[in-house]
């Protein structure tokens, strides 16, 4: 090959990356460029990246590591970039790999040489860890609002139906009478725990990685407390290796999101059941149901079904990052670039599911008559009879349970309710039964009697609602 041909071939090679290419003579293969780039998804970190860079530059200037003039130029340039991105004028380049290099390259276009001083005493390793922590913190704050709104919708329905009777189920079989308000309050507590988990996650991510540099810290006289405080962190992370390799905060966020998704899915499943013709306990509004392309009579609870399905995505997001992290040696590996997609997707998915569920709960109408009619199934006051035999007639519970079971079998054979058996029929099985038993078997009295703390008695439900309003709203 002639010298001219060699020169022409060299000119055809991809150019080395201008931000890190000093070590490399040529650029990346096209496939390598594609797999290496993260700008398609990590551009969502732009606000956090700009905030962290401004804090870093201000600290560098305060410490005399860069001049104050350069620090001011960097801050102005970063704000100009923020404005470009938010106005849709910023041109993202896949060749520049990620949000950090896209912003730094544009900063160089805007302010020239001072832009090259911004990356002093930091690495993309501590930079991205800081950015992602800031993003997760913002996501938690937004999800907190969504969870609180769902609790408010549940509380409003619970308050309206604190005395509305319905069957409570175990094994999806009628078990004991409860109130609809009491049932809904169970979800208020579940979502309260979800808020608590996100709050705990927010506290634990309150340590700043910035200043850890690549993994070993830096020889520059930086002030990590200053950058941590400027970004709203409680303190710098204590160990530089841990600072760049830790993704516990992302995993904890994903775990909290997955569990919230499970709770949403359980409520969605109940709404699907309750709104079916077989149950008919609630009616969903037109806003959260759909029709059929072929069956004109259909009214499908699609919003609930989709919320139920979203739990699978949230669980998958958690599993995805757990699998990425499980075998990584310290400190940073490019594998960790894959932390952002599951975090972003989980936050988006959970926010959407919360909005849909809040709308469904707010709009749904309970059918009190259907709930009341369902109380006639399954000998639902049998436990009350057994308890009464213990409390009022002094039987050991196992004897009372056995006698009640025989009475249930007799009623089943006669295709009637327990309270439709005659007193004589009951006494034939247990002679100590008296006329009082018929009051015991009334579902209203059953519910009213469950007045222990956290019980289904309407007075207890109303107290629980009042306490929940103080705790959660």
With a CB cutoff of 8 Å and minimum separation 6, the contacts of 455 are: 182
Please name the residue that has the structure tokens 């040696």. Answer: 329
With a CB cutoff of 8 Å and minimum separation 6, the contacts of 252 are: 200, 201, 204, 205
What is the rounded distance in angstroms from the CA atom of residue 169 to the CA atom of residue 88? Answer: 53
Nearest Cα to Cα of residue 246 among 185, 167, 325: 325
What is the rounded distance in angstroms from the CA atom of residue 448 to the CA atom of residue 225? Answer: 58
Instruction: Give the tokens for residue 302.
Output: 């699609």
Q: Assess whether 292 carries a catalytic annotation.
A: yes
Instruction: Give the tokens for residue 155.
Output: 């509380």
CB atoms within 10 A of CB 399: 15
Furthest CA-CA distance within the chain: 115
CB atoms within 10 A of CB 106: 22
Residue 219: DSSP 8-state: S
Summary count for the chain: helices (H), strands (E): 20, 6
**Element containing residue 284 per DSSP (H, E):** none
Q: Among residues 56, 171, 245, 401, which one is catalytic?
A: 171
Distances (CA, A) of 176 to 148, 157, 169, 378: 30, 21, 7, 9
Instruction: Give the tokens for residue 134.
Output: 């800031």
Distances (CA, A) of 418 to 21, 377, 412, 443: 84, 10, 9, 11
Peptide bond into 331 cis (omega under 30): yes
Distances (CA, A) of 52 to 49, 82, 133, 211: 5, 13, 11, 11
Q: Assess whether 183 carries a catalytic annotation.
A: no
Please name the residue that has the structure tokens 């310290």. Answer: 330
Q: Among residues 67, 93, 276, 292, which one is catalytic?
A: 292
Q: Are 291 and 300 in contact (CB under 8 A)?
A: yes
> Catalytic residue numbers?
171, 292
């Amino acid at each position: 090959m002639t010298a001219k041909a060699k020169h022409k071939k060299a000119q055809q090679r991809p150019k080395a990356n201008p931000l890190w290419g000093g070590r490399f003579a040529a650029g990346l293969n096209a496939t390598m460029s594609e797999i290496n780039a993260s700008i398609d998804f990590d551009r969502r970190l732009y606000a956090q990246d700009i905030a962290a860079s401004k804090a870093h530059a201000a600290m560098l200037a305060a410490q005399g590591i860069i001049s104050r003039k350069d620090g001011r130029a960097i801050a102005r340039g970063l704000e100009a970039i923020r404005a470009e991105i938010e106005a849709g004028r910023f041109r993202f380049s896949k060749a520049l790999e990620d949000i950090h290099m896209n912003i730094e390259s544009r900063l160089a276009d805007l302010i020239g040489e001072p832009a090259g001083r911004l990356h002093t005493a930091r690495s993309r390793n501590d930079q991205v860890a800081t950015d992602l922590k800031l993003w997760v913190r913002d996501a938690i704050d937004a999800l907190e609002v969504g969870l609180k709104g769902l609790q408010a919708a549940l509380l409003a329905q619970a308050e309206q139906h604190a005395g509305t009777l319905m069957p409570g189920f175990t094994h999806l079989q009628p078990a004991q009478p409860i109130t609809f308000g009491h049932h809904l309050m169970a979800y208020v507590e579940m979502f309260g725990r979800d808020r608590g988990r996100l709050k705990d996650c927010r506290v634990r991510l309150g340590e700043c990685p910035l200043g850890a540099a690549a993994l070993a810290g830096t020889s520059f006289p930086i002030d990590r407390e200053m950058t941590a405080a400027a970004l709203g962190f409680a303190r710098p992370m204590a160990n530089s290796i841990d600072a760049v390799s830790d993704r516990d905060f992302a995993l904890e966020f994903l775990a909290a999101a997955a569990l919230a998704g499970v709770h949403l899915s359980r409520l969605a499943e109940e709404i699907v059941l309750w709104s079916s013709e077989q149950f008919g306990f609630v009616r969903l509004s037109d806003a959260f149901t759909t029709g059929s392309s072929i069956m004109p009579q259909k009214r499908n609870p699609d919003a609930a079904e989709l919320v139920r399905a979203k739990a699978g995505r949230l669980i998958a997001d958690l599993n995805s990052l757990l699998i990425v992290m499980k075998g990584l040696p310290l400190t940073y590996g490019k594998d960790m670039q894959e932390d952002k997609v599951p975090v972003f997707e989980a936050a988006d998915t959970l926010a959407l599911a919360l909005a849909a569920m809040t709308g469904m709960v707010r709009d749904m109408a309970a059918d009190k008559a259907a709930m009341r009619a369902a109380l006639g199934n399954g000998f639902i006051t049998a436990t009350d009879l057994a308890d009464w035999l213990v409390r009022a007639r002094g039987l050991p519970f196992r004897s009372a349970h056995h006698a009640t079971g025989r009475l249930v079998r007799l009623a089943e054979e006669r295709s009637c309710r327990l309270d439709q058996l005659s007193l004589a029929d009951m006494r034939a099985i247990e002679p100590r039964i008296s006329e009082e038993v018929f009051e015991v078997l009334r579902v209203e009295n059953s519910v009213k009697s469950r007045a222990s703390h956290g019980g289904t008695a309407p007075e207890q439900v109303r107290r629980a609602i009042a306490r929940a309003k103080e705790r959660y709203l």
